[in-house]
């Protein structure tokens, strides 16, 4: 176990943790945002990030500082914390971003780690190779070998109490991402950034981002603190946390503000298009869109940056509460409706349901079925997997309710889409207490049918009758042929007809020839 990272609470693969940063003498609660501070541009001062926004960790670029004579001398003279006027933890990048952008940098891992230690960095970064998406596999493999050598150089360096990042690369090749995660996890390094995902997010390829992170997580240990490099838009934070990411760095708050863009949890708006500010942060309660547009460009940029930070920090607090409440998936699903690309990301997340299920708590407060994607949540997969623990004997009725055609059964089990069958004794256990709408979609019934199939498979000597409430043909086709099917609505109609016929039989003619009912 890594003694500098403690897991406190969890939901899905998301978790609330405590990252101890010994050189800074602080402990950072995760999930945490690291605002990016450009040492050449003072949009919002680090002191204000700490005092007004509650930031207890930030990130800046040691390569920019190293290559700027004035900044280098000041950082070496007074130290990074005094230079930035920040008392929390400071992570520094190594120049890898510049390497990805411009193709070369004039430093090595040994040199930049020593410089980061000399200026008082708390969490340092080696010179890895951020391989962009969709490159040839040969290039991705070559770049990954260079990154592995950088991690070896970082392990060999004298870093004292300074924590060191072990970036996980591999482009858009899941097997390389997993291999990179496993290699990084085997080092004695401390924090594990998943790198080179910014191009995916800039292109709204959230599904590819999910696949890359999920692959990296398969290689990393559960106790590895994971940093999603370059991710900080509030719209995608819940999705990334659900995948198991703990740290996020964002320059978006400042870069978007410079371009007149206003962040929300549903996407990005342009200030020029807004008639109202849909937010209750201090900026949005004090100013109107016209007020902001009337400010000079510098002041407008600063105010927009402040809003962008407020909404991002607020989303992280909302995510932490969702983890505590056990309804992170509901929040992810809500955010997924903000953009078609986010919905792709959510569906990609559900493609990794078996991986999520291994870390998802077995019991929570409530399960809300809100869309067809809900039928593919980890709780449903877990229920199907646990069919091997349920024993059915004799002739078993599986019923959604209502009245079956007969009562010649040895046992009666409930059937609730999307979970499928379970003994009545489990009716009050999570997630079988799910809140399910009356008008269910096809996915819910098909998943319930999979549950029936799994139960039959695990109990070959039992006989089953499924009393269903007009399931679609696509679901009934998934039920094994050995299961007798009975439509509850058809039974109800037949019983109603029989009751009506019996009523007619007891009617007799009166003496006067009129009809009367025999008492």
What are the residue numbers of the active site?
Answer: 93
Query: Which is nearest to 97 in space by CA: 36, 55, 42?
Result: 36
Residue with tokens 């693969």, as numbered in its chain: 13
- The upper half-sphere exposure of residue 243, i.e. CA atoms within 13 Å in the direction of its Cβ, equals 33
3-class state of residue 125 by DSSP: coil
Q: Is 215 annotated as a binding residue?
A: no
* Residue linked to tokens 């900026």: 283
- The span from the CA of 127 to the CA of 231, in Å, is 19
Phi, psi dihedral angles at 279 (to 5 degrees): -155, 155
Residue 245 counted as an annotated binding residue: no
Which is it for strands 26-30 and 14-21: parallel, antiparallel or unpaired? antiparallel
For residue 263, the cross-strand partners are: 268
The enclosing H or E element of 30 equals strand 26-30
Tokens at 160, concatenated:
């004292």
Residue 248 CA to residue 30 CA, distance in Å, equals: 10
Cα separation, 161 vs 11, in Å, equals: 31
Q: How far, CA to CA in Å, does 319 sit from each of 8, 15, 326, 385, 510? A: 14, 10, 10, 28, 75
**Region for residue 296 given its phi and psi (left: phi exceeds 0; alpha: psi -120 to 50; beta: otherwise):** beta
Please say whether the beta carbons of 147 and 181 come within 8 A.
no
φ, ψ for residue 61 (rounded to 5)? -110, 110
Q: How far apart are CA 195 and CA 230, in angstroms?
A: 8
- Number of other CB atoms surrounding residue 219 within 10 Å: 22
Q: How far is CA 257 from the centre of its chain?
A: 26
The reply to whether 281 sits in an annotated binding site is yes
Length of the chain: 519
Structure tokens at 324: 């505590």
Q: How far apart are CA 469 and CA 366, in angstroms?
A: 24
Cβ–Cβ < 8 Å for 348, 356? no
Is 230 in contact with 253 (CB distance < 8 Å)?
no
Taking each helix axis from N to C end, the angle separating 340-351 and 234-243, rounded to the nearest 10 degrees, works out to 0
Q: How far apart are CA 144 and CA 129, in angstroms?
A: 7
Closest CA to 483 of 409, 408, 395, 390: 395
284 known member of a binding site: yes
409, 397 contact by CB (below 8 A): yes
Enumerate the known binding-site residues for substrate: 128, 196
Enumerate the known binding-site residues: 128, 196, 279, 281, 284
Enumerate the known binding-site residues for Zn(2+): 279, 281, 284
């Amino acid at each position: 176990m890594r003694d500098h990272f403690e897991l406190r609470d969890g939901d899905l693969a998301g978790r609330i943790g405590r990252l101890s940063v010994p050189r800074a003498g602080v402990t950072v609660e995760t999930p945490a945002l690291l605002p990016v501070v450009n040492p050449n541009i003072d949009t919002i001062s680090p002191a204000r990030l700490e005092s007004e926004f509650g930031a207890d960790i930030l990130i800046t670029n040691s390569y920019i500082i190293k290559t700027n004579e004035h900044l280098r001398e000041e950082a070496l003279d007074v130290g990074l914390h005094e230079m930035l006027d920040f008392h929390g933890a400071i992570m520094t990048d190594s120049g890898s971003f510049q390497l990805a952008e411009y193709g070369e940098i004039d430093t090595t891992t040994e040199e930049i780690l020593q410089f980061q230690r000399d200026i008082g960095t708390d969490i340092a970064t080696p010179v890895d190779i951020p391989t962009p998406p969709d490159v040839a596999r040969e290039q991705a493999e070559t770049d990954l070998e260079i990154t592995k050598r950088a991690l070896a150089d970082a392990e060999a360096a004298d870093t004292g109490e300074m924590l060191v990042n072990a970036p996980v690369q591999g482009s858009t090749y899941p097997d390389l991402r997993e291999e990179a995660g496993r290699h990084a996890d085997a080092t004695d390094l401390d924090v594990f950034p998943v790198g080179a995902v910014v191009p995916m997010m800039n292109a709204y390829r959230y599904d590819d981002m999910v696949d890359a992170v999920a692959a990296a997580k398969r290689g990393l240990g559960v106790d590895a603190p994971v940093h999603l490099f370059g991710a900080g838009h509030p719209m995608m934070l819940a999705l990334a946390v659900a995948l198991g990411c703990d740290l996020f760095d964002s320059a978006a708050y400042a870069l978007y503000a410079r371009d007149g863009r206003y962040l929300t949890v549903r996407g990005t708006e342009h200030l020029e298009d807004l008639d109202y500010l849909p937010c209750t942060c201090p900026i949005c309660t004090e100013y109107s869109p016209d007020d902001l547009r009337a400010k000079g460009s510098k002041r407008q940029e600063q105010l927009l940056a402040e809003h962008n930070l407020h909404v991002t920090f607020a989303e992280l607090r909302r995510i932490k509460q969702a983890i505590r409440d056990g309804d992170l998936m509901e929040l992810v699903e809500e955010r997924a409706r903000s953009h078609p690309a986010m919905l792709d990301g959510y569906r990609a997340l559900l493609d990794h349901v078996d991986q999520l299920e291994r870390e998802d708590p077995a019991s929570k407060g409530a399960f809300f079925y809100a869309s067809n994607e809900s039928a593919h949540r980890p709780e449903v997969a877990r229920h199907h997997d646990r069919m091997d623990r349920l024993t059915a004997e004799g002739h078993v009725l599986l019923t959604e309710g209502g009245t079956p055609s007969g009562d010649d059964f040895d046992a009666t089990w409930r059937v609730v889409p999307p979970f499928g069958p379970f003994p009545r004794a489990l009716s009050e256990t999570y997630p079988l207490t799910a809140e399910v709408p009356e008008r269910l979609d096809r996915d819910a019934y098909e998943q319930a049918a999979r549950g029936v199939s799994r139960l039959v498979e695990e109990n070959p000597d039992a006989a089953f009758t499924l009393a269903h409430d007009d399931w679609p043909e696509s679901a009934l086709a998934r039920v094994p042929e050995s299961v007798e099917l009975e439509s509850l609505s058809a039974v109800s109609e037949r019983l109603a007809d029989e009751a009506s016929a019996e009523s007619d039989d007891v009617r007799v003619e009166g003496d006067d020839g009129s009809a009367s009912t025999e008492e």
